[in-house]
């Protein structure tokens, strides 16, 4: 019976000893972690203090007396000795006086509006209404003039109706003589820029200038022409631009192209876009390519006709 009870107690004793060892090991780990935590806390506090001090040096108020700012809680090595805080006085320095004068340049204020140099000038002279002296009733003479101000004057455009009338002349003497044919001469009016159109060259130039230089769409130009006194629509303006480009500007373009293709050096830039109604019958979804050519004045003329044909064929879409 004794042996059985001793065997039963032994497992509990081993378990107790094992738990005690684990508890002691856990306590030792807690102590080590506490020490590490204390060290980390002190390190964080030191770094925080260092950051606060550096921030104060960077953004805080600065004194011109010393280039060195003493940290909070630390004494200065130079405060106790007056030799470091007071300036050194010598005989020459005490008798020397420095004076200076600050000269500031006054900039003239520029106007934010001015006229170009090539603008036509109209001078309006203003004379006194009465040039008789009030004292002696004698004639006064001019002694000078002063330019008081300059102003911009705008002369707006106006619409005019120009009628071309051809006059016919007949010889009365030849008309009496039945043996002579009738002699009639008629004045010849110049050909219009566009046949069967009231658009004059000045109107066409204005339409093209507003569209391509001022980027004013044709449907907006219709309202402006209506205010001037010309009733039209954007379809007519579009037809005018097309006819001018084909009848008057195409020969200029062909001549410029001929001269440029003869150059030995060409710079080419390619741009593509989509055209809804294409003249070549292709779909509007297909890209149409435009090429911009430019040469330089120093480029020599290439006399090789073969190279001209090759370059000319490359610009065809």
Q: State the DSSP string of 166-206.
A: --EEE-HHHHH-TTSPP-EEE--PPPPSSTT----HHHHHH
Instruction: Indicate if the pLDDT at residue 203 is higher than 90.
Output: yes
Q: Which long-range contacts (CB under 8 A, 24 or more apart) does 206-214 make?
A: 206/157, 207/237, 207/240, 207/241, 208/241, 208/244, 211/241
Question: DSSP state, 299?
Answer: P
Q: What is the pLDDT of residue 171?
A: 87
Over the chain, what is the mean pLDDT? 80
DSSP reduced 3-state for 23: helix
Q: Which long-range contacts (CB under 8 A, 24 or more apart) does 191-199 make?
A: 193/244, 193/247, 193/248, 194/240, 194/243, 194/244, 194/247, 197/240, 197/243, 199/240
pTM for this predicted structure = 0.50
Digit-coded pLDDT (tens) for 14-53: 888 888 889 999 999 999 999 999 999 999 999 999 999 8
Pairing of strands 267-274, 287-294: antiparallel
In the chain, % helix, strand, coil (3-state, to 5) comes to 40, 10, 50
Digit-coded pLDDT (tens) for 222-255: 999 999 999 999 999 999 999 999 999 999 999 9
Q: State the DSSP string of 204-224.
A: HHHHHHHHHTS---HHHHHHH
């Amino acid at each position: 019976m004794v042996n059985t009870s001793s065997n039963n107690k032994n497992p509990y004793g081993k378990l107790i000893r094992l738990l005690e060892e684990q508890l002691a090991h856990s306590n030792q780990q807690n102590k080590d972690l506490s020490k590490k935590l204390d060290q980390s806390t002190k390190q964080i506090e030191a770094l925080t203090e260092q950051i606060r001090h550096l921030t104060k040096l960077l953004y805080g108020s600065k004194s011109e007396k010393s280039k060195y700012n003493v940290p909070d809680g630390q004494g200065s090595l130079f405060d106790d000795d007056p030799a470091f805080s007071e300036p050194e006085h010598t005989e020459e320095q005490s008798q020397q006086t420095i004076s200076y004068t600050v000269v500031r340049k006054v900039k003239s204020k520029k106007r934010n509006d001015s006229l170009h140099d090539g603008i036509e000038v109209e001078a309006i002279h203003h004379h006194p209404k009465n040039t008789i002296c009030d004292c002696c009733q004698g004639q006064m003479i001019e002694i000078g003039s002063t330019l008081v101000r300059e102003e911009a004057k705008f002369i707006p455009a106006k619409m005019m109706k120009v009628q071309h009338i051809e006059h016919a002349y007949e010889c009365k003497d030849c008309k009496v003589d039945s043996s002579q044919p009738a002699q009639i001469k008629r004045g010849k009016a110049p050909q219009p820029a566009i046949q069967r159109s009231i658009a004059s060259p000045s109107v066409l130039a204005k339409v093209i200038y507003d569209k391509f230089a001022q980027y004013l769409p044709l449907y907006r130009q219709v309202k402006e022409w209506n205010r001037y006194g010309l009733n039209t629509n954007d379809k007519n303006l579009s037809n005018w631009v097309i006819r001018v480009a084909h009848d008057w500007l195409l020969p200029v373009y062909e001549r410029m192209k001929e001269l440029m293709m003869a150059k030995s050096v060409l710079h080419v830039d390619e741009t593509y876009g989509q055209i809804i109604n294409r003249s070549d019958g292709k779909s509007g979804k297909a890209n149409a390519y435009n090429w911009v050519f430019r040469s330089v004045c120093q480029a020599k003329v290439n006399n090789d006709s073969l190279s001209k044909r090759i370059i000319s064929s490359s610009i065809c879409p």
